[in-house]
Amino acid sequence: MKAADQHARIHAIPSGFSRRHLLGIEGLSASEITYLLDLADSYVDLNRQINKKLDRLKGRTLINLFFEPSTRTQSSFELAGKRLSADVMNMTVHTSAVNKGETLIDTAMTLNAMRPDLLVVRHSASGAVQLLSEKVDCSVINAGDGAHEHPTQALLDALTIRRHFDRLDGLTIAICGDILHSRVARSNIYLLNRMGARVRIIAPPTLLPPEPERFGVEVFHNMREGIRDCDIVMMLRLQSERMTGSLIPSTREYFHYYGLDREKLSLARDGVRVMHPGPMNRGVEIDSAIADDRAVSLIHDQVEMGVAVRMAVMDALSAHLRNDLSKEI
Residues within the interface to other proteins (CB under 8 A)? 204-206, 210, 221, 244-250, 252-253, 256-257
Contact residues for 33 (Cβ-Cβ < 8 A; gap 6+): 25, 155, 158, 191, 194, 195
Residue 210 beta carbon to other proteins: minimum distance, rounded to whole angstroms: 8
**For the residues of 31-69, what is the DSSP string, one character each?**
HHHHHHHHHHHHHHHHHTSS-----TTTT-EEEEEESS-
- Choose between 165 and 220: whose C-beta lies nearer to other proteins: 220
Contacts of 63 (CB under 8 A, 6+ apart): 88, 89, 90, 91, 111, 114, 116, 118, 119, 120
- CA dihedral sign, ordered 260, 261, 267, 271: positive
Smallest distance, Å, CB 252 to other proteins? Answer: 7
Least Å distance, CB 222 to other proteins, is 8
Q: Minimal distance in Å, beta carbon 205 to other proteins?
A: 4
- In the bound state with other proteins, the residue whose beta carbon lies nearer, of 208 and 313, is 208
Please identify, using beta-carbon distances, which residue of 71 and 250 lies nearer to other proteins: 250
Q: Kind and range of the H or E element at 121?
A: strand 118-123
The answer to whether the beta carbons of residues 315 and 56 sit under 8 Å apart is: yes
Distance CA 256, CA 261 (A): 9
Cis ω for the linkage preceding 279 (within 30 of 0)? yes
d(CA 198, CA 44): 26
CA distance 270 to 8: 38
Q: Which is nearer to other proteins, 14 or 245 (CB)?
A: 245
Query: How near is the Cβ of 100 to other proteins at its closest, in Å?
Result: 23
Compare residues 40 and 247 and give the one whose CB is closer to other proteins. Answer: 247
31 vs 244, beta carbon nearer other proteins: 244
CB of 251 to other proteins, least distance (A): 10
- Report the residue number, 11 or 221, with the smaller CB distance to other proteins: 221
Strand-pair category, 198-202 with 172-176: parallel
H or E segment and range at residue 219: strand 218-220
**At its nearest, how many Å lie between other proteins and the CB of residue 263?**
16
